[in-house]
Structure formats: C-alpha cells, structure tokens
Amino acid sequence: MSLSEVVPEQELVSFKEKLRRFYRGTLFQVIILGMISFTQPGIWSAISNLGAGGQAEPYVVNNSYVVTFGIMIFLSPVAAIIGNIVGMRWVLMFGTIGYVPYSAALYCNTVYGTQWFMLFGAATCGLSASALWTAEAAIAVSYPEPAKRGLNAVAIWLAINKIGGIAASAVTLALNINGQQKGNIDPKTYLALIGLQCLGLPLSFLISPPEKVIREDGTKVSMGNPDRSLKTQIFALGKVFKRKEVWLLIPVFISNGWGGTYNGNFMAAYFSVRSRALLSFLNSAVLAILDIVIGRTLDLKRFRRSLKARYTWLIITALFSAMWIWTIVLQIDFASKGSISLDWTDSRFSYAAGNNFFFKILGEVIFVWVYWIIGTYDSDIDTLALTSGIVRSGESLGQTLSSKVGSLKKVTLLTNIIVAAIVFWASVPTTTWASWLVPDVPHSSLEEEDRSADEVVAAIPVKA
C-alpha cells in the first residue's frame, strides 16, 4: 500500500511543503551552519582551549598559529570575493577540508615529534579557515530575518559551535582523567577529534543557496549587485574597505584575537592535563548558553538598535577593564611563586580557573557583539561577505602578532598580558565611535524590504 493511499493527497502535499519550508528556512540553515562550525573551528577551538593545542610546550604550536593566521590576513578578503562570484556555499565547502591535516599534525608531533607536519597542517588550516570563517559569518548574518539576527544569526550559530567544544572536551577529559601533572594530552584524543572533523564536508552540502532560502516574513535574502564579475567584486571590496565603520571595528578584532594566546600559554604553564581538559569542557558548556542569552538580549525590541549598541559596548568596556586588571594582578602573583602545577584538587585552582572563566566569557561576549554590530550596518549578503572578509583579516592580523609574541620563550606571560591589555584599551575609542554609528535599520534593508514586500503582495491571489 503506497503512502498516497494512506494519507490524503492534499495532506501529503501540505506535509511536503512544510518539510521543504523547514529545510529552506533560516532556522534550519543556521543550525546546519552551526554544526559545520562545530566540526571545524569548534573542534579547533576546543583543542586550543586546552592550552598550546594540548601540547606540553606552547612555542611550536604558536608558530603554527602564525602560519595559519598569516595566510588568513591576505586570503580572507579574497575568499569573500570568490564567494560573491561562485556562491558562499561553495566557499564554505572548501573551508571544511583543511582542518583535518592540522589535527593530524598535532597527533604526529605528539607521537613522533614531526614538527614540519605542524607547519604543513597550519598552512592547510589557514587556507580553509580563510574560506570558512568568511563564508560562515556572511551566511549567518545575511540569511536570517533582520529582526532575528541576534538570536538566529549569531547566537545559535556560535552556540552550536560550542557544542563541538563540549563534545571534544568531554572526549579529551575522558581520555586524560588521570593526567594530574602538566604535559601533553593523550594522543588518542586527536584521533577522536579528527573523526568528528570529517563530518564537516558532507554537512556543508545541506546549506541552501541564498535565492532558495525561505524567511518567515516573506522577504528574500538580499544579493546586492547582480553583476557577479571579478571586476565588480574588487570594486565593491574597495568601497567596503573605505567605509569608516569597517576601519573603526578592525582594532577591536585585532585586540580580541590577542588575548587568546596569553590564555593558552597561561593554561599550558600552570594547569595539569586533566584540569585543562575540564576547563575546556566547562568553558564550552557555559559559552553555548551565554551565546543564546546574548542573542536574545540583542534582539530585544524594547530598545532601539542604536541605543543597544552604545550601552552594551560601554558595559563590555567596563567589564573588560576589570578583567585585564585582575589578570595582571594574578599573573604577577603566580610569577613571583616560580613553578606552579595546578590540579583541580589544588586549593588555588578555583582562583585561577575563575579568572580563566571570566576571560573566556568576556571574549565570547565581545565576539557575538561585534558580529551583531556588523549585521546592523548592512543587509545584503555581498556587502556582509566583503565586510566579514576584511574584519576577519584584521582579526587574523591580531592573532598572527600575538602568536608570534607567544612563540618567543624570552617573552614572559606578564609581558604578554600587559601588551594584550594595552591593545584592547587602544581599541576602545574607535569601537566606541563605531557603536555610535549603528543605525536602527541596516543600510539598504529598507529598499530591499519594500521590494520584497511588494513581491509578497503581488504573489497573493486576488479574488474576483
């Protein structure tokens, strides 16, 4: 007996249509994007959250970060141009290929000491990350309805990314539960994480092209200039590059990438293997919840978007300033006591772990906030892709410089954190200015929404 004989044809068509609308809907698209992010940068971040990529010493790993982010400085804008020509989903697919060799290199360096593979893996990771970071940001911010860009665009995407960290950290903790001293994590950890990363490519085929995306409000994803030629895209990149709000945000992207190197070196220097795994797990779990909370807060309609941008930035600045001061005081204290190995049974663990939590939470807050800000300036996917490429380039510049500083044995942790704090405070004036430029409605969205609304009205059948 066929399905059509059991279920009335009208109900079957209705079910298929609901399934199609869900599959093409913005919520499903962001969930799939989050799952891709979970298998790629999510796993990569989970490894990084262990401190030194799970290695005993941070110096080789930090040098590999220099290679990865150095490539991204130049290729992130290129990825945006290519994505606008051939489609962001194809760039996203390419972005899922290069993370696995880097994780494999960490395994080989731990087991066999093959450091050259680290640099090769870092290069493939840089190529893929240039594509994936730019494409995922452009898709996450441009596909959802403008009123849901805090929750759907940023929060769900990044929260699912953290689920990758939770899964990876849980595996890491289980395999390293007896590691009460400082050192390398169990090599089997990398093999488990490589298996998860291999899921990224097949998942990327589920992303819909923008013209097929279905929004709840009936509007279409704005594509920007219909001319997809290389010349047009280079010209468009130049226009975006000249925009003052983009330049104003680059310093905060640089500063946000800077503090992570210190935090990784700090964990490798002071925490036992299993404590690093535990902190990575807890951080990922807390940040996943935090992403949703921040997204809902930024989507509140009680306050104008321009006011939310200003007040939230002022709060972030105050909290970050307190965090930098606390971290500097903690580092001075630890440096004066010589060699320290903190396990979760140590009485000093909660003090150091609390600082690590505060550090990670504020880093995530500013990350979500900045991408929400980008979504408030523009609405079409082309402009958002180019903007994402440029700011990702700035973020990569900060991480390249900080990783190079972190790779030098002669640079103390205290020096590293002081420089990171100075870089942040230097970014405050420009970011404050950028927050004051946030409009209540994204540029070009009024025209696009009016056009989309006309299309929706025109599609409604008129009764005779």
**CA 105 to CA 190: how far, in whole Å?**
9
- pLDDT, one tens digit per residue, over 103-128 is 888 888 878 878 788 889 999 999 99
The pLDDT score that the predictor gives to residue 460 is 30
CA 85 vs. chain centroid, Å, equals 23
**pLDDT average, residue stretch 12-35:** 85
Residue 90 within any structural domain of the chain: yes
- pLDDT, one tens digit per residue, over 142-176 is 888 777 766 656 678 878 887 777 877 787 777 77
The pLDDT confidence band at residue 203, using thresholds 50, 70 and 90, is: very high
DSSP state of 15: H
Secondary structure percentages of the chain, helix, strand, coil, to 5 = 80, 0, 20
The pLDDT confidence band at residue 418, using thresholds 50, 70 and 90, is: very high
Residue 321 within any structural domain of the chain: yes
CA 6 vs. chain centroid, Å, equals 47
Cβ contact 225:236 at 8 Å: yes
pLDDT at 297 over 60: yes
The pLDDT confidence band at residue 185, using thresholds 50, 70 and 90, is: low
Burial class (CB in 10 A: 0-12, 13-18, 19+), 301: exposed
**CA 261 to CA 65: how far, in whole Å?**
9
Residue 403 within any structural domain of the chain: yes
pLDDT at 2 over 70: no
The pLDDT score that the predictor gives to residue 206 is 94
The pLDDT score that the predictor gives to residue 7 is 52
The pLDDT score that the predictor gives to residue 75 is 93
- Mark out the alpha helices in 336-444 (DSSP H runs): 349-377, 381-406, 413-436
The pLDDT confidence band at residue 258, using thresholds 50, 70 and 90, is: confident
pLDDT at 50 over 90: no
The pLDDT confidence band at residue 447, using thresholds 50, 70 and 90, is: very low
Please calculate the CA angle 365-388-31 and round it to the nearest 5 degrees: 65
**pLDDT average, residue stretch 36-53:** 74
What per-residue string of b and e applies to 252-264 under the rule 16 or more CB within 10 Å gives b? bbbbbbbbbbbbb
**CA 89 to CA 43: how far, in whole Å?**
21
**Number of compact structural domains in the chain:** 1
CATH classification of the domain holding 170: 1.20.1250.20
What per-residue string of b and e applies to 30-50 under the rule 16 or more CB within 10 Å gives b? bbbbbbbbbbbbbbbbbbbbb
Residue 218 within any structural domain of the chain: no
What per-residue string of b and e applies to 442-464 under the rule 16 or more CB within 10 Å gives b? bbebeebbeebeeeeeeeeeeee
The pLDDT score that the predictor gives to residue 445 is 41
The pLDDT score that the predictor gives to residue 461 is 33
The pLDDT score that the predictor gives to residue 175 is 72
Q: Worst-scoring range by mean pLDDT, 13-17, 37-41, 413-417?
A: 13-17
- Domain interval for residue 147: 7-205+230-235+242-459
The pLDDT score that the predictor gives to residue 457 is 29
pLDDT at 379 over 80: no
Residue 217 within any structural domain of the chain: no
Residue 137 within any structural domain of the chain: yes
